[in-house]
Structures are given as structure tokens and as C-alpha cells.
Amino acid sequence: MDAWTMFWGWLLVIVLLVYAFLAIVITIGGFFDVKMMFTTMVEQHKERMTDDE
């Protein structure tokens, strides 16, 4: 019975570490995507302003 407890304990730790790693990677990637989106929006806004003149 002790082996199963150890197995599930380690499995839980591994799964939580993988989840934490993925959460960090996705958060960092999302930050850069949002930053790029705002940069693109500003550039498009500037282009429209010059086209209107």
C-alpha cells in the first residue's frame, strides 16, 4: 500500500510542476502576443490617419 501512496504522490508533484511550467510559458507568450497586437494597432491607426489627409 505504501508503494501506491508514493506513486500517486510523485505523480501529483510531477503533474503540478508541468502545469506550473505550462502556465508560466503561456503567460509569457500571451504577454508578447498582446504587446505585438497593440504595436500593430498603433501602426494601423497611424497609417489610416495619414491616408485620410
pLDDT of residue 53: 65
Give the pLDDT confidence score for residue 11 in this predicted structure: 98
pLDDT digits 0-9 by tens, 23-46: 999 999 999 999 999 999 999 999
Cell of 33: 502576443
Characterize 9-46 residue by residue with b for buried, 16 or more Cβ atoms within 10 angstroms of its Cβ, and e for exposed.
eeeeeeeeeeeeeeeeeeeeeeeeeeeeeeeeeeeeee
Tell me the pTM: 0.68
Q: Is the pLDDT of residue 4 over 80?
A: yes
**Is residue 49 predicted with pLDDT exceeding 70?**
yes
Mean pLDDT across 10-35: 98
| Alpha carbon 22 to chain centroid, angstroms | 8
